[in-house]
Chain A
Amino acid sequence: MTTERRLALGVASLGKTFGAVTALSDVTLEVEAGSVLALLGENGAGKSTFISLVSGAVTPSSGTIEISGEPARLNSPHDAARLGIQVVHQEPKLTNEGSIAENIFLADYAGGTGLQLVSLRRRVQRAETLLSKLGLADGLPPVTTSVHRLSAAQRQLVAIAKAMATEARVLFLDEPNSSLTPRETTQLWNLVRALRDSGVAVIVVSHRLSELYQVVDRVAVLRDGRLVATGTAAEIPIPRAVELMAGRQSAPVKRAERPARGDVVLQMEGVHTRSVHGVDLTVHAGEVVGLAGLVGAGRTEIGLAACGGEPVLAGRVSIDGRERRFRSPRAALRAGVVMTSEERRRAVFASHDVTFNIAGSSLERLSRLGVLSRGRERGLAGDWVRRLALRGSPGSPILSLSGGNQQKALLARALAVKPRLVILDEPTHGIDVNTKAEISALVGRLAAEGLAVIFISSEVEELLGVADRVAVVRDGRIVQEASGTDGIGLVAAALGETLTPRTEPSDRSGLPS
């Protein structure tokens, strides 16, 4: 408890409309200096809009913003940065070829005539000083290393260091832990605590509530663009937060009963690609096999090897007992193997509608002699929109949908080809709790109908809920396999994921005050 209450950020009646759509309305919120706030909400609840408004990326339609007690008018991110507001995005905006030091002090290039000389040595020294001040010196390679050689976690840390180089007083972290391993997340939270103790207000957005609750002091929940609750982490424990976010009681994930698994659909034997080194993997009909492991461990690449996305250099890939050498995803598609991509932005056809996106892989089936039947195309899209309870009409532009619903459209695209094997790469990455549960339930139902599924996820809890078997991937190899709830639990423990019950907010009393 600090005796003096210092407000780092205060917003009053903040609102934003885009045309006829109200993205945020009447949000009044105060954030104290030296505290960590969790900003919670489903996709489309207004979290991103809130961040955009406070960081000057978007101008508000109504309301006021106060920074450190002073009314602020933010016309650009530059204005906000000058007042000490910084945002670190899910995928940090760093220049790939630049070094760590260069990225940290990128803002130095902003001023002046552009003709001033750059002292590399001085910048390296300043970067080293900053990193050691933040306690990051050990977690990162030398500051002259190019950013493109860093892991996702390291990039995240560099982005935070970059924000702190400008003496930020309010720091937004947007989904900082979604690509991190538990150990990396712990390191990140240590940094967040250190920043808090030095008086920074940190506002974290994350869908991984159990991890998030390890670090937050207060919680604010947005729903449909309105602030529905604020309180301490103890006042709003995770189950309550989930209810508030959804506006209803959330159903626990129930595993569908599945018949005994069927014949072998996919068999990989000693498969090598550029980044996969000798993988053996078998998936049966009606079985969900989870691929666990760190981001960058080679899980996606194993999927790509199975679906023709990456050339197989050695080893065998067999589908239904027949050896296949897929030269492209198209060849795999014909054999009934499809994969959905990890990043939605890379997978959607952005300038088209939901129907176009769903029908993308099924065009041949919907046509005769090369002429597309638009009626059948609409029928197919309509069916899947209903089946997946996709919120959005077949004719609406794909980008007008929330992330979770875009993901459903991509699932529909894959499933519409009636595959034998579907490879889902992080299908619930960055989407809200309820849609996540819906997708898990859907995968269970599909497996019960005899589909073979490879489910790639960084969240062991999620795999626990959906997979029959889990293979742990490290450095392009499968290092461990486990089946059954207990076995998967052991794998989870080995991975270091804390499977603490979701009902308990973390105990904060033991932390340094």
Chain B
Amino acid sequence: MTQRWSLRSAFGHVEVALVLVIVIVAAVVAVQVPSFLSTANLINLLLAMVTIGIVALGQGFVIMAGELDLSVAATIAFTAACAAALMRDGVPVWFAVIAAIAIGSLIGLVNAAIVLGTGVNSFIVTLGTLSVVQGLTLMVTGGLPIATPLALSDIGADTRVAGIPFPVIVFVVLAIIAQLVLVFTVFGRRVLAVGDNAEAARLAGLPVIGTKLAVFAIAGGLAGVAGILRAASLGTAESSAGTADLLPVIAAVVVGGASLVGGRGSMIGVFLGAVLLGMVQNAYIILKLSSWLQLATFGAVVVAAGVFDQARQGRIGWINTLRDRRALSRSSNAAAVSAGTSK
């Protein structure tokens, strides 16, 4: 009995469930292709998820604060393009890096200012600014990739510290910092409180506007970090600013157990969500499956995560009814049995 309960409460933590799912997926794939679990492949897997993972950390703050920022997907390419253009024009690398992060934050602040100043739903606002930033990227690049100087590759994927690519280290460190900020700082508390119930937070004297400005700025800034790391790894800033990153970024947060209406979530969950997605992506490559199928799988995973979350909170009416009905028939059976024995 006690064991069953502890197992159930462990499943209550999304992080534990995610680790289990990751282990199962890894085992299944490794049986087919043992090299899946090689150090080199595991590092590749993480490296492939660095951009998405870092941006998902920022998106995590935004979603936990009860908002959504679709525009970060475009900010990744835009900040990289800006930095590349600056470096091409002779600006020092360190300055271009800081500028990219600052530009990302600025885009976040603009989003937040529109959302907070007008009350328009952040989904709509950032859906619009997503397209605006894409257009700006094409204007900066003129439609052609911009090569980045060799010096930038010092922070790229080929630079390894103790065998681990530098961007992976940045991702892991940022994830740890994000989790510490969420759990141990006043700011983290404010994010969760504001996302849970903004009006209650306002009356309780919490800085609702300040908190929301901050989460959008963090999301934009982290998109800048991701953009720079990607450009450093590729050696160029891409000209086309696709939205391919949009779904995986939100997927990582949702799979990580954050509530899409805000107020609940963890950065460890977001990290694990990104790892799981990276794993699925990598498995498809290793198993030589179609990349189209992979796209479909990502979409299905997001829907499944949403359903899982809803069920976990006991919010699916027909499942509750089925359970109640079973309990009722069991108890009436038990009553019949006991009535039978007492006779």
Contact = CB atoms under 8 A, between A and B. Distances in A.
Contacts of B327: 17, 61
Interface in B250-279: 259, 263-264
A348 B200 contact: yes
B340 interface: no
B120 interface: no
Nearest to A414: B204
Contact of B185 (A341, A348, A371): A371
Most chain A CB within 10 A, of B186, B203, B327, B331, is at B203
B310 interface: no
Contact of A364 (B186, B196, B332): B186
A61 B328 contact: yes
A352 interface: yes
A363 B186 contact: yes
Contact of B189 (A330, A347, A356): A356
A360 B193 contact: yes
Nearest to A338: B205
B206 A360 contact: yes
A482 B284 CA distance: 78
B202 interface: yes
Contacts of B259: 351
A349 B335 contact: no
B184 A413 contact: no
A370 B186 contact: yes
A359 B199 CA distance: 16
Contacts of B188: 372
Interface string B188-210: 11101100110111111111000
Contacts of A352: 192-193, 196, 263
A58 B325 CA distance: 10
A309 B185 contact: no
A346 B201 CA distance: 10
Contact of A356 (B185, B193, B325, B328): B193
A310 to B, nearest CB: 11
Interface centre among B193, B200, B202, B324 (most CB of A within 10 A): B200
Nearest to B210: A330
A328 B197 contact: no
A12 to B, nearest CB: 12
A350 interface: yes
Contacts of B264: 351
A274 interface: no
A60 interface: yes
Interface string A382-420: 000000000000000000000000000000010001000
A62 interface: yes
A279 interface: no
Nearest to A425: B203
A424 B193 CA distance: 21
Contact of A61 (B197, B203, B331): B331
A374 B184 contact: yes
Nearest to A413: B204
Determine the main DSSP class of B at the interface with A: helix
A129 interface: no
B321 interface: yes
B196 A330 contact: no
A75 interface: yes
A332 B199 CA distance: 15
A503 to B, nearest CB: 39
Contacts of A347: 197, 200, 203-204
A59 B108 CA distance: 48
Given A62-B328, A330-B206, A360 B201 contact: yes
Given A75-B321, A363-B190, A349 B263 contact: yes
Contacts of B298: none
Nearest to B187: A370
B333 to A, nearest CB: 11
Of residues B197, B321, B331, which shows the largest number of chain A Cβ atoms within 10 Å of its Cβ? B197
Interface string A76-97: 0000000000000000000000
A433 interface: no
Contacts of B204: 329, 333, 338, 347, 360-361, 413
Query: A75, A334, A347: which has the most chain B beta carbons within 10 Å?
Result: A347
A7 B43 CA distance: 73
Contacts of A346: 197, 199-200
Nearest to B185: A370
Contact of A333 (B187, B196, B205): B205
Contacts of B196: 349-352
B184 A372 contact: yes
Interface string A47-83: 0000000000011111000000000000100000000
Contacts of A340: 203
A267 B206 CA distance: 24
Contacts of A333: 204-205
Interface in B196-230: 196-197, 199-207
B203 A372 contact: no
28 contacts: A60-B328, A61-B324, A62-B331, A328-B205, A328-B207, A329-B205, A338-B205, A339-B203, A341-B200, A341-B203, A346-B200, A348-B197, A348-B200, A349-B192, A349-B200, A349-B201, A350-B196, A351-B196, A351-B264, A352-B192, A352-B193, A352-B263, A356-B193, A363-B186, A367-B185, A370-B185, A371-B184, A372-B185
Interface of B: 184-190, 192-193, 196-197, 199-207, 259, 263-264, 321, 324-325, 327-328, 331-332, 335
- What are the 9 tightest A-B residue pairs by CB atom distance, in nearest-first order? A333-B205, A59-B324, A349-B196, A363-B186, A330-B205, A361-B204, A351-B264, A351-B263, A347-B200
